[in-house]
Structure 1
Amino acid sequence: MERSENTLKLLFAKLLNRETISYLIFGVLTTVINIGVYKLCRTVHIEYRLSTIIAWIVAVIVAFVTNKIFVFESTNMQPGIILKEAVTFVTSRLVSGLCDFGFMVFAVEIIHMDDFIAKIITNVFVVVINYLFSKLVVFKKKG
């Protein structure tokens, strides 16, 4: 019994560290911005597909800055490094953005789900995918 408790404590400590907690905080912020921009676009009668794209662009910009500086603490500010990180970040976000867009079209047009509910659901999965890309590819620590 004690061994399983130690294993759970180690797993808990591994999962809940500064990086994952800050990613969750900034991930929630980015998600709120994504959904807020989407809702704002829809309020001014921008079609839901274009609203999804606009919200994605704004969220990616916010996410890159917060992930680089606060989450993964990538302190190298050389233009070449920033460019490389930005290109890799945007590319990985394009993959998750296409998943977001594809699910929105599927949910709204095929299964006739409310677009705002679909947007919330897809953002949960997008946050997880984006963390994995950022951790394992974009801001991967050397060594």
Structure 2
Amino acid sequence: MAALTALWQKYKSIIAYLFWGGVTTIVNLASYQWLSTGLHWHFEVATVIAWFLSVLVAYFTNKVWVFNSPYTTWRAFGVELVQFFFYRGLTLLLDMAIVYIGISWLGFSSSLGQFLVKLTDNIIVVIVNYVFSKWLIFKSNAKIMHK
């Protein structure tokens, strides 16, 4: 039992990130599918709106349940929020590039094809977002919170 507790302590942020990343991915995929195939919106517009909705979910879940970043000062909160959206904006560009290449260049334009492109895209983006969150956003804000 002690070994399981030690493993949990060592990997709990990764496990929480994967769980909430899964929730964020579901929000992203579901909203994208609904907008692109349900409402027949252009895939680029659907991607941006799906991104925005999933970033809102990701910010609060990452802050509270993954990285346990406390609400200390308005300044620290503002810096953290701006950094989070900035780095997620960078991964939005990656997201847009992957979707564009998959649908426009590689021809995955059917509903299933678009879904598979978005699924692959989300896996890549989740990994990059973890790196940004773990080492650049929530960690660096510990310094700001104590000023």
TM-score of the aligned structures, taking structure 1 as reference length: 0.86
**Partner residue of 1:118?**
117
Given candidates 14, 23, 26, the residue that maps to 1:29 is 23
Q: Paired residue for 2:32? A: 38
Q: 2:122 matched to 1:127?
A: no
Per-residue deviation, 1:117: 1.0
Q: Does 1:76 align with 2:76?
A: no
Q: Which runs of no fewer than 5 residues in structure 1 stay unpaired?
A: 1-8
CA distance in 2, matches of 1:13, 1:29: 23
Q: CA deviation at 1:77?
A: 3.7
**Helix, strand or coil for the counterpart of 1:17?**
helix
Residues in 2 aligned to 1:56 and 1:106: alpha-carbon distance in whole angstroms: 17
Name the residue aligned to 2:103: 108
Q: Does structure 1 residue 67 correspond to structure 2 residue 89?
A: no
Structure 1 segments, 4+ long, off by >4 Å, are none
Deviation of the 1:62 alpha carbon: 0.6
Aligned partners of 1:127, 1:13: CA distance in 2, in Å? Answer: 22
Identical aligned residues as a percent = 30
- 1:14 is displaced (CA, Å) by 8.8
2:51 maps to amino acid: W
Q: Name the TM-score, length of structure 2 as normaliser.
A: 0.84
Q: Give the unaligned 5+ runs of structure 2.
A: none
Partner Cα distance (1:40, 1:16) in 2: 38
What's 1:58 paired with? Answer: 53
Aligned to 1:98: 93
Q: Aligned letter for 2:120? A: I
In structure 1, distance between residues paired with 2:9 and 2:114: 32
Deviation digits for residues 86-139 of structure 1, max 9, x if unmatched? 110011101111101001001100110221110011000001000000000000
Pair 41,15 (structure 1): closer, same or farther in 2 beyond 3 Å: farther
- Taking a change above 3 Å as real, the CA distance of residues 73 and 97 of structure 1, as seen in their structure-2 partners, is same
Kindly state the Cα deviation for residue 13 of structure 1 after the two structures are TM-superposed.
3.9
RMSD: 2.0
* 1:6 matched residue in structure 2: none
Note closer, same or farther for the CA distance 1:129–1:15 as it changes in structure 2 (3 Å cut): farther
